[in-house]
Structure 1
Amino acid sequence: MSRITRRDVGDAATGLGAGTILVIVVVFVGLIVASLLWAFGVFTSGAKGAGDVRRDQNNAKNREHWSVTFNSEFQQLQADQEIVVTLKRQAEAAGATAQDRDNYLGAQNNCRQDVAQYNADASSALGSPWVPEELPTHVDSDTYCGS
């Protein structure tokens, strides 16, 4: 077995070349920087997520959207309530047909879907802060749609 001489080391260094060594160093440094950036993103994700939600909530377009949405959905609930009351009278009247009862049940189901949509929007992360003061934050389907 022979000893490694300075000349052998010099020949190997020349063979590898400074460019190859530089590429290896750059890749290694790049991996370290990418790892640090990833770790920073993971550690600050909670604060960033909360900040993003707060920013989205306070966006003017978000406020406008929810103002229009809540007002129109609540108006729809009131219209549904009137329809349910009218169809209930028809379904319970003397001479009511099976179609009258089906119409009443269909209106109730439609009303319950609209109540569910209103409640879902009123409890959403972006919508909940913008329920107008004159509107409820939760609607009971039995109250609006009958039981």
Structure 2
Amino acid sequence: MTRISRRDVGDAATGFSLSAVAITLSVLFVCGLAALLWWLGVFTSGIKGAGDVTRDQNDAKNREHWSATFNSEFQQIQADQGVIANLEHTATSAGATVQDHDNLTGAQNNCRQDVAQYNADASSTLGAPWLPEGLPTQINADNYCGS
């Protein structure tokens, strides 16, 4: 059996100390790198977010979608106006029933929902830039659907 000398104990202690220092420095380096990457992500998030919105707005699929959506919604509102005009004529004619008045109210409410959807889409971040020429930017429900 060999004897353990003071030198052997000192060498082992030095080795453990150097290992502990190396591990501590490695952990601190990894934590510092993670903190730096997190900070860069937070610091550049506004720029990245604005860039993502611009990229999404200019996407050809986005343009096609919103053009079709706005045209479809506006055509639906115009169709609602025609239905309201017919129901208004029926509800104000002689012999109109309570059901005729209820039908008119229901058509007006449906028109208001369609106008609200159009206005929400016309105000959306992705849709607003692609509102086709000739269509209103906002629609007043009272003017289009009656009161």
Same fold (TM over 0.5): yes
> Which residue of structure 2 lines up, in the alignment, with residue 101 of structure 1?
101
TM-score, scaled to structure 1: 0.88
Amino acid at match of 2:15: T
Amino acid at match of 1:70: F
- RMSD of the TM alignment (CA)? 2.0
2-side partners of 1:130 and 1:114: how far apart? 19
2-side partners of 1:6 and 1:115: how far apart? 89
How many matched pairs? 142
> Which residue of structure 1 lines up, in the alignment, with residue 49 of structure 2?
49
1-side partners of 2:49 and 2:7: how far apart? 58
1-side partners of 2:134 and 2:83: how far apart? 23
- Give the 3 Å change call, closer, same or farther, for CA 48–28 of structure 1 in structure 2: same
Spell out, residue by residue over 1:1-58, the C-alpha distance to the aligned partner (whole angstroms, 9 max, x if none): xxxx98765332334663x544433222111011011111111111111111111000
Percentage of identical aligned residues: 61
Worse overlay, 107-116 or 135-144:
135-144
Offset at residue 93 of structure 1 (A):
1.1
> Which residue of structure 1 lines up, in the alignment, with residue 14 of structure 2?
13
Structure 2: give runs of 5+ residues left out of the alignment: 1-5
Structure 1 position 36 matched with structure 2 position 36: yes
> Which residue of structure 2 lines up, in the alignment, with residue 124 of structure 1?
124
> Which residue of structure 1 lines up, in the alignment, with residue 137 of structure 2?
137
Structure 1: give runs of 5+ residues left out of the alignment: none
Spell out, residue by residue over 1:42-90, the C-alpha distance to the aligned partner (whole angstroms, 9 max, x if none): 1111111111111100000000000110010000000001101111111
Secondary structure class of the residue paired with 1:47:
helix
How do 1:72-87 and structure 2 match up within 5 A? Answer: 72-87=72-87
2-side partners of 1:35 and 1:15: how far apart? 28
Amino acid at match of 1:80: D
